[in-house]
Amino acid sequence: MSSIPLIIIGGGPAGYTAAIYAARAGLHPVLYEGPNPGGQLTITGEVENYPGYRNGVTGPAMMEDFQAQAERFGTVVKTGTVVKVDFAAYPRRLTLDSSVELLVQSVIIAAGASAKWLGLPAEKRLYGRGVSACAICDGFFFKDKTVVVVGGGDTAAEESLYLAKLCQKVHLLVRKDQMRASKIMQERVFKNANIQISFQTEVQDIIGQTQVEAIKVIHTASKKTTAIAAAGLFVAIGHQPNSLPFLPYIAVDPQGYIQTKPGTTQTNIPGVFAAGDIQDPHYRQAVTAAGTGCMAALEAERFLQQPFGSF
């Protein structure tokens, strides 16, 4: 079985940017889209903060542009999900969900991270119509409106503080009787007059047919249910990096994010690089993902130019 010079795992901004750079460098990359082609942007409505789109663009349209540009330079885009890897020997071995095995000289892991959801039927139906998991991405659309944020950690605190600058009112719903966010983040939330915190409160349902109109909640201590009139629901209960198939070979942090050497996209395995949200627990933006995709492609090119073992 002959080995492939470079396989890119994931079809989001990081993966396609890596593909563009790698293809232009003559590396003949093969990109496997994974279970969610286009990544989280395919379920994002209007994108107004990505450079170059002066009038904004929908998430799916932007990812179509990314793919077309990658294919223009010779990237081979395939459907399929990597479900297992063997990084103990070189070339590396990947196993697809179709049971096909591939030998690869270098790998760029850009499989992204998935937002954790509440599991309500209305979440999927109203995603992009008032339901979001990213205040920085979508907060602008709720300027001067009332919104609800769900969560008790640093992410929920950050989302609430960001939205409080834009929105008329922010309701922060915390499932427990206290927040688990860092002390300094809690202090900032408590001091913000535009944020109303409700402890021991859970979302029961999202009201609205085509747009979010209100959030039905239950106060677990009293068992009382109420409805909060709101135009948006921001779910901030965390993200789950899609790193499971790469364990136990790839080093990850306690949350499962792939660890890279500072200032690079290099993992602990030579010739295996990580880009995008799968190694970024902080920013999770399309533009930062694209930047690390560029870095990974350049580093993969450098790796492939040298004899294995000297990198």
**Which residues are marked as active site?**
134, 137-138
Q: Give the DSSP letter string of 231-254.
A: SEEEE-S-EEES-GGGTTTS-B-T
DSSP reduced 3-state for 273: strand
Question: Can you name the residues that pair with 229 across neighbouring β-strands?
Answer: 214
Tell me how far apart the alpha carbons of residues 181 and 171 are, in angstroms, rounded to a whole number. Answer: 16
Tell me how far apart the alpha carbons of residues 308 and 193 are, in angstroms, rounded to a whole number. Answer: 58
Tell me how far apart the alpha carbons of residues 284 and 277 are, in angstroms, rounded to a whole number. Answer: 5
Q: What is the CA radius of gyration of the chain?
A: 21
DSSP reduced 3-state for 11: coil
Q: Give the DSSP letter string of 29-43.
A: -EEE--SSTTGGGGG
**Structural tokens at position 110:** 């850009």
Q: Give the DSSP letter string of 173-229.
A: EESSSS--S-HHHHHHHHH-TTEEEEESEEEEEEE-SSS--EEEEEETTTTEEEEEE
Which of 208, 193, 197 lies closest to 128 in space, CA to CA? Answer: 208
DSSP reduced 3-state for 150: strand
DSSP reduced 3-state for 289: helix
